[in-house]
A = this chain, B = another copy of it.
Amino acid sequence: MTESRTGTPERDPESVSRFVEHFAAQLVEAGMARMPSRVFAALLASDTGTLTSAELGEQLKISPAAVSGAVRYLAQVHMVSREREPGSRRERYRVHSDQWYEALTSREAVIKRWEEALREGVAGLGADTPAGRRLAETLAFFEFIEQDVAQMMERWRAHREQKYGR
């Protein structure tokens, strides 16, 4: 990696942009809206893991309105958190790894609603019908997953600690 004379590794905007757009495209393909995907990718690729609205707008060439909307969504699904710079009306947005891993894997709210729909389905179709049994088994699967994913995250934390040091 090339370095500037200050000792700070240089950030090639070209490389950053290539990653941001490429990674965002994958998120879009997985069902996430375009702006939130791009904003999130930009945060991931930032040095400090935080960016202000203005920085996001400039880097991604989007309006303040678009930043606002994207960030509202990302905060809602706990993929980023918002911070107020003390003594300023400027806002900072941050990716915090642990937080977004959780958001990604558990999707708790989503799974909970799937389970709810399945429970109603079992009740409506009858637990003793073939379809009812299928729905019940699907429900059992989700319940299992939900519980097991929590354990998986613990294993991940242990794994990372061992790999990167605490």
Contacts and interface: CB of A to CB of B under 8 A. Distances in A.
**Chain A interface, DSSP helix/strand/loop, else mixed:** helix
Interface in A112-166: 113-114, 117-118, 120-121, 124-131, 134-135, 137-138, 140-141, 144-145, 148-149, 152, 155-156, 159-160, 163-164
Interface string A1-20: 10000000101100110110
A65 interface: no
A34 to B, nearest CB: 13
Contact of A23 (B25, B107, B114): B114
Interface residues of A, number: 59
A163 B140 contact: yes
Contacts of A164: 137
Interface stretch (A46-54, A68-76, A79-87): A46-54
